[in-house]
Amino acid sequence: MTDPATGIQFSSRIEDREIAGVGVRKKGPIKIYAVGMYVPDAVKEAVSDMSKSSKDAMNALRENAKSSNATFLLKMNFKVGAEKMASAIAESVAPRHSGSETEISDFKSMIANGISGAAKKGTTFQFDCSEDGLKVTVDGKDQGVVPSAGLAQAFCDVYLDDKAVSPALRKSCVENLCSKK
């Protein structure tokens, strides 16, 4: 699947999860990164018979993703400094997270520690969300896990709630997963 805004391609699977949709994160006119969301079959099945135009479909996708093993793969399209990138992602998660601030700071450190100087075009960030917590991988290198299901759910909300940072991802997921118009 290819993000139409950036032309960045995503593989069809990551382990046991299949791509649900793709989108772009913009800051003004700048396309910072493309994002792909990968979900297990159970999430696909939960929304497959729903209408693409139904608000219930988006809510079902969000809730099922938060209670399963969803993966978000970010692929950089624009160079951003390590600290700025780590801060931006952590600051998107923080207001959606009701747990400890230490979890947010640990998460931010894992991102920053994985970046060498700057997140250049082509740098990848993989965030695996599960009941065990939020696993961070940068350019294929494991950076650790913050053992907080709440943090993982808050990360899902960054991309799936009504104030999502990539509305295009939400739309793409519903278009691809829901069978009814």
User: For residue range 103-157, what is the model confidence (pLDDT) as tens digits?
Assistant: 999 999 999 999 999 999 999 999 999 999 999 999 999 999 999 999 999 999 9
Arithmetic mean of pLDDT over the chain:
95
pLDDT of residue 181: 72
Give the CA dihedral 152, 153, 154, 155, nearest 10 degrees: 50
pLDDT of residue 54: 79
pTM: 0.96
pLDDT of residue 180: 76
Q: Going by C-beta distance under 8 Å and a sequence separation of 6 or more, which residues neighbour residue 4?
A: none
User: For residue range 5-22, what is the model confidence (pLDDT) as tens digits?
Assistant: 999 999 999 999 999 999
pLDDT of residue 179: 84
> Are 81 and 67 within 8 A, CB to CB?
no
Residue 149 to residue 155: CA distance in whole angstroms: 10
pLDDT of residue 102: 97
